[in-house]
Structure 1
Amino acid sequence: MKISALVPAQALLSLANVSTINTTSGQLIGNEADGVRAFTGVRFAQPPVGELRWEPPVPYTSSDIVNATTPGPSCLQMFKYATAKHDMRLFNTPPPPGGENEDCLFLNVWAPTGGKKKKPVVVWIHGGSDAFGSATLAEYDGTSMAKNQDIIVVSMNYRTNVFGFPSAPDLAPDKNNLGQLDQELAFSWVQDNIEHFEGDKHKVTIMGQSAGARAVSDAVSRHTEANPPFRAAIMLSGAVTSTVPTLHFAAFNNFANASGCTQAPGAARLDCLRQIPAATIHNYTNGPLSGTFDPVVDNMTRYDDDLTRIRTNNTARVPILIGSLQDDGTVFTSGVKNLTTALPDLFGANAPSVATVRALYPGLNDSQVIAAAYRDKNFRCPAKLWSEAFVGSGIEYVYRYTYGASFADDAPYPNLGAWHTSELPELFGTYNASTATADEETLSNSFQTAFANFVKNPKVPPAANWPEYGSGTVAKIAYNGNVDLDNFIQPVASGTLDGPCAVWDKLLDFRP
């Protein structure tokens, strides 16, 4: 039975196919169907509006009966004006249910019935360039993973763009990465409540993709060996390496001036900006005058050199599963053909020369070189550096992969290959069943099972033929059409993939 969100919470208790759980967020009433209990739109923080705009999240507690059968709204989305049509087609079609709202700090839980009484838990952090994204996108539905793998899936919204990463001189540095603080509060909620869903708070894995993977790497870096709120981490296409710790305030200052708040940076200007309607701010950030709002180095939620922190044992020392896609760069470089102008545009003033980069990728035309270079610098080489740093510091159970599958029904336009985010419907089991081939269905089961195996026990290989990275081995996933659980892993020496990293590492790992 699908329960309407319009049904009052008290009335839900008398209906069939509902499940109730007592939590710090209230007595949750969710849907139960086909062996999975789903609780969506669970508030874990006070609404970050009014005086709480640009403040760290405040925990929400309640003893009320709560209708947790419909998704909460997503945080306000920002799509850069010049690329909005392209990005929305790739990453926001269809848009998440529940609409958008500044009041957006909700999470979702999918818990299987039966099976083990203390189930492993995976906490999902969505991507979106720290500008957009939502826990309620259809491809992140946790039903398949919960049902087929007997694990609990949790996903959360966190503030993005100017609301979550304002880079504001008006705020103390440790209050600028609000989206990271939202994630931490969600981790705490899981520790406080997951046992009510028959989950094991000592068996939590955090998992993210792209900006979500970078958030996972930040969480690993900022937590020490002593009692992190997770026992393992999964990073799909993303990890923070060395970062220039310069604060950039221009985007926020320009936003304040455009909003008519022309006071000097400080409390008075923040008070003025807190009076601006969220819709007005949303229109600005999605307009042609907006700058970019990114996480800053605050030495609390993000540090300037995660690699050194790993090497000196100043991070959570947990098993990791980390990797990238064969064609992670294609969607970011589509239509870019001029290598001479692309290099400084994509990689900054310290980009290597055209001749150097061409030599890294023999046999490819310039468009293909640009895509491969973007993949390596942003995704493949960071995965290598993290794997090497973890193994070099004595941490066991490091597993690295590269994913090579592509399916025609999953591509928004041709020639993208295994493009950035294309593995997520296979991981979550949310691919289009009406158009999927038998191979896609099989791979989804194999891929999901391997990652769930890591969640269940990160100290054993996730799949057959998948050795630890300590041997310098990378698992090629679903290359050459292999999709079955017993053959979809092809182990290869990391050197067969990482040759170009000798150049890109100089931009990524620039501290001793």
Structure 2
Amino acid sequence: MIIPFVLIFISLLEGTYARSFVTVSTTSGSLQGVKQDGGRFAQPPIGLLRWAPPLPFFSNTTQNATAVGPACVQQFAFATASLIEPLFNNPLNPPAEDEDCLFLNVWAPTRSSDASSKPVVFWIYGGSLAFGTGSLPEYDGTSIASNQGIVVVSFNYRTNVFGFPGAPELLIQENNLGFLDQELALEWVRLNIRQFGGDPEKITIMGQSAGGFSVSGLVVRHPIDPPFRAAISFSGASPDNTPSLTPFDSFNNFSTTVGCTEAPGPARLACLRTVSAVDIRAYTNGPLSGSFEPLIDNITTFADNLERIRSGNAARVPLLAGSMQDDGTLFTVGETNLTAFLISEAVTLISAEANETSVIADSFRDLSFLCPTSLWTQAFVQSGISHVYRYDYGAVFSDFQAFPNAGAWHSTELPEFFGTFNASTATPDQVTLSKTFQTAIANFIKNPNRSPAPNWPEYVPGNNTQTLARLAYNNNVEIGNFVQAVTSDSQDAPCAVWNTFLDF
């Protein structure tokens, strides 16, 4: 079943939190929703539909959309779970998990005398394609919808072994199920968002980390008539991909460990479909599990992303993309052995004087986030696309320092954008920056063909231009000063090394 939910803003604006109901007519039937609840966007991917492409549901009956759906089954890698799970799984009230998880959420601003349809942002969460959910409180769309007049959509997609199994039993084009979930959710939005006051011709896809990689995938696989008009990538751009030499190892090891010892084929798949989701989660979150990643299928995922963009074989839409000043600190907590981490030639390009811990963190940032973003924005400009905006985010707040030397670490821009920061611990600068950053990104969503903020120029690569927007450095948090345009390639010196691995 496809059942979205509606967030009622009129009760918020009138100062009451009563459970006001609304009914919206969609291709999935008449949907009755209430404030802060949600429903399905696809049939439950369980039983015979486990490891199957998502199936849409069409109906003309009334559907109950008054209960928030659970997250998909999560995988937190055993070695890092003690750090990562508390940071990204709402530790005081972690979401319920279930294999039946394909739910979609809509926050729509109150209808006004202005009858025009509103721009739409389609939010894709991160989590290394292993964990994450659109229902986290951090991703609540209330502030954006009510303050910016934008329809906000979030949803769940399958991750880890459920979403990217790498199973030899499946057709190659049916292995990247999480990406197929994303496509179906986007198609549902195109069909139904007018009923929520949104304009299907004004959809911006936006994601962070693995969500940013997902945005990259959508851009590359929709070169003709893309189902969106703009793209935003926070700390996530997919460079060229190297095919795995052992694409089925993790799935084969998983199969054997959970007791399905048949040779790869229909019998083994049938056995695996009888294993409970609870037992599968116990394996994937245990010490023996491998990682489950997308396969290059030349349908949802390609090896030559950058060349496709440069040659015009990708969605030709405005792009806003960037990374964090300290994107690497989270992923290198406890790493102190520089020799074991990277080759010495790269170190000298990063910093000859920095301590080993900071060099390790910076190197991870450069290889995984900064240099891919540099390559993507360059490729867009080289292909002749106008309205490309690149940023580097540098805001550091004391209540975000969740581990030593965290800095402006990976994902700390999100509470600022969504307006979901902790109001009891936030400084005045933090409150101001949230309004500023949200407004700038909303400006791009509303009109991606003009600068999102004062002094933010379109990106032009090179050392003779100043078009890289440093955001919120030096406590500059007002809309008039939070952008500092600096030399366009001033951050990219380490990419001389890393690009040999990223751009084939």
TM-score range, shorter chain: over 0.9
The letter for the 1-side match of 2:193 is I
Aligned to 1:94: 91
The letter for the 2-side match of 1:21 is V
Answer whether contact 2:392 2:469 (CA < 8 A) is retained: yes
Partners of 1:119 and 1:156 in 2: how far apart? 19
Answer whether contact 1:194 1:201 (CA < 8 A) is retained: yes
Partners of 1:429 and 1:25 in 2: how far apart? 31
Aligned to 2:317: 318
Partners of 2:92 and 2:160 in 1: how far apart? 17
2:342 paired with 1:339? no
Structure 1 pair 16–216 and aligned structure 2 pair: CA distance change class (3 A):
closer
Answer whether contact 1:96 1:138 (CA < 8 A) is retained: no
Select 1:420's aligned residue among 399, 410, 427.
410
Aligned to 1:466: 456
Answer whether contact 2:72 2:100 (CA < 8 A) is retained: yes
Answer whether contact 1:251 1:290 (CA < 8 A) is retained: yes
| % identical aligned pairs | 58
Aligned to 1:123: 122
Partners of 2:52 and 2:434 in 1: how far apart? 40
- Could you tell which deviates more after superposition, 239-248 or 374-383? 239-248
Select 1:18's aligned residue among 16, 21, 29.
21
In the superposition, the TM-score normalised over structure 1's length comes to 0.91
Partners of 1:186 and 1:279 in 2: how far apart? 26
Aligned to 1:479: 473
Aligned to 1:241: 239
Which residues of 2 match residues 56-455 of structure 1 at below 5 A? 56-94=53-91, 98-115=95-112, 116=114, 117-224=116-223, 226-246=224-244, 248-343=247-342, 353-455=343-445
1:351-408: per-residue Cα shift (whole Å, max 9, x none)?
xx22442342132101000001111111011111001100001011100000000111
Answer whether contact 1:466 1:489 (CA < 8 A) is retained: yes
Deviation at 1:96, TM superposition (A): 6.5
Partners of 1:358 and 1:334 in 2: how far apart? 22
In the superposition, the TM-score normalised over structure 2's length comes to 0.93
The letter for the 2-side match of 1:488 is F
Answer whether contact 2:32 2:63 (CA < 8 A) is retained: yes
Answer whether contact 1:358 1:369 (CA < 8 A) is retained: no
Answer whether contact 1:44 1:105 (CA < 8 A) is retained: yes
User: For structure 1, which runs of at least 5 residues remain unmatched after alignment?
Assistant: 4-14, 33-37, 344-352
Secondary structure in 2 matching 1:22:
strand
The letter for the 2-side match of 1:240 is S
Secondary structure in 2 matching 1:496:
coil
User: For structure 2, which runs of at least 5 residues remain unmatched after alignment?
Assistant: 1-5, 7-17
Deviation at 1:130, TM superposition (A): 0.5
1:437-474: per-residue Cα shift (whole Å, max 9, x none)?
11000000000000000000000000000000136521
Answer whether contact 1:165 1:176 (CA < 8 A) is retained: yes
Secondary structure in 2 matching 1:208:
strand
Partners of 1:105 and 1:356 in 2: how far apart? 42
Partners of 2:278 and 2:58 in 1: how far apart? 27
The letter for the 2-side match of 1:80 is A
Answer whether contact 1:96 1:137 (CA < 8 A) is retained: no
The letter for the 2-side match of 1:481 is N
Deviation at 1:98, TM superposition (A): 4.8
The letter for the 1-side match of 2:457 is P
Deviation at 1:26, TM superposition (A): 2.8
1:36-70: per-residue Cα shift (whole Å, max 9, x none)?
xx5x3221110000000000000022333333333
Partners of 1:97 and 1:107 in 2: how far apart? 18
Secondary structure in 2 matching 1:470:
coil
Answer whether contact 1:205 1:234 (CA < 8 A) is retained: yes
Partners of 2:145 and 2:152 in 1: how far apart? 6
1:7-33: per-residue Cα shift (whole Å, max 9, x none)?
xxxxxxxx962222111233222235x
Partners of 2:401 and 2:443 in 1: how far apart? 28
TM-align CA RMSD: 1.5
The letter for the 2-side match of 1:436 is A
Partners of 1:72 and 1:97 in 2: how far apart? 13
Answer whether contact 2:349 2:494 (CA < 8 A) is retained: no
Partners of 1:272 and 1:66 in 2: how far apart? 34
Partners of 2:95 and 2:503 in 1: how far apart? 41
Partners of 1:98 and 1:21 in 2: how far apart? 26
1:90-120: per-residue Cα shift (whole Å, max 9, x none)?
2113376650000000010000013443000
The letter for the 2-side match of 1:422 is T
Answer whether contact 1:122 1:205 (CA < 8 A) is retained: yes
How many residues get paired?
481
Structure 1 pair 76–95 and aligned structure 2 pair: CA distance change class (3 A):
farther
